[in-house]
Structure 1
Amino acid sequence: MADGGDGAAQGHDLGSEHFLKGFSDPEVVARYAEGPRRYVPGFESLHRMTAILLAERAPKDARVLVLGAGGGLELKALADAHPGWTFVGVDPSAEMLQAAERLLGDHMARVTLIEGYIDAAPRSSSELGPFDAATCLLTLHFLKAPERRDTLRAIRERLRPGAPFVAAHGSFPQGAERDLWLQRYAAYAVASGADPEQAETARAAVAASVQMLSPEADAAILDEAGFHDATLFFAAFTWRGWIAHA
């Protein structure tokens, strides 16, 4: 959602292009790190939990795919937690990838950054994918359901059988209570220090443009994409996170 994403996943079918254009704005990129912490309850904890969940099945020398890697916050948290892992981070914004490189510092020795979408990520010619684990945090809500399914399927095809995958993004009831949840989204941001006018602008933009689904629909798409044992591990206001396996 607004000021909350770690980049973008797919490409030309995104339904919220005005959000994504902001990731190429130098001023937006410069203050990017402020957004997730204000709009996502438990943002740092989400990264710590992701590192723990991936490590349940990923080896100590795991190769990890990070889709929506721009900004580098997730990459840095995972690299700090697991010094033996190497990473491929993919994001369509060159500016955001430059910010990630600056943030990662010495960790860049273990990181390859690729400008593009999921199709730009390495894949294997065999049935065994090149990655031992993958993440896609605060990103998939930019995609409509069909593109979301295709992106998830492409991630799964790049994973070894049984490899862990963590997804977390905006996901909340889409019925009569939808507006109430969006009000809570904005109220949390204000309570966390966001300018009230900016928070209201973000709420209105999310309501009009971002491709939110219910948690039930999100879990179903993970299953349709070929992931197994999808389990909800994170729920905080308008955000949900799942651990699943290829």
Structure 2
Amino acid sequence: MLRLAWLFVAAWVVPALAAPPDDPLRSPAWPYMAERYFAGQTVRFDAAVRVLMPGAAEDPLAVPVYVDAGALADVREILVFADLNPITTILRYEPGELARPSIGFRFKVQQATPLRAAARTGDGVWHLGGAWLNAGGGGCTTPSQASGSGLWKDRFGEIDARLWPRADGLRRLRLQLIHPMDTGLAGGIPAFYLETLALQDSDGRTLARLQTFEPVAENPLLSFDLRGRGAVSIRGRDTQANRFAGTVAP
């Protein structure tokens, strides 16, 4: 009887010890997000991870966001997700040694939600920052403009990119890829979106890798901060195995 009582106490204590840290944003979905993305891992809310965006979404189809984890050392991965979006995962970014752990992008939002960025450092700890975004909604279920026009097919896969030096010694790469980025949530339109993107320098070294998901805005507009010199090559693939390539010179 004593052994059974001990097992009961142990079963009650373990979940309490594994509970996620208290959420400063007070999101009703935080326990589910913590379990989905960080189960069994160490998570810390950290002001060193900044999520910069408007307080309200003027255009729910293209909310501009800049994530900056540059105050942390040895960032291996950045995960961005929105608690209350119907598709929560927005992107995963792996900055290499020649890229700053920061990224700019635009995404589709369906309703008011916390937007979070989690930076995983070399010690395995996830450092989590975020903010609430107010939104009227509809961004994820609205058909892309491309789905209503045949003109986009003439430019599908085009990459427009620019690379210029910054005052801090880094280089800013800004690129746009023509792609509908359909979420699959609009009636009769299947999911169709850019899936991976890789950046390499002129010596073939990988600068950064990016995995994108349905909520990234149509015709993705992305910004990266890179070290080094010379041209940067861009390689991408979407969910229908279309491949995209381009090179941008300084």
- TM-score scaled by length of structure 2: 0.27
Higher helix share: 1
Higher strand share: 2
Higher relative contact order (CA 8 A, sep 6+): 1
Larger-gyration structure (1/2): 2
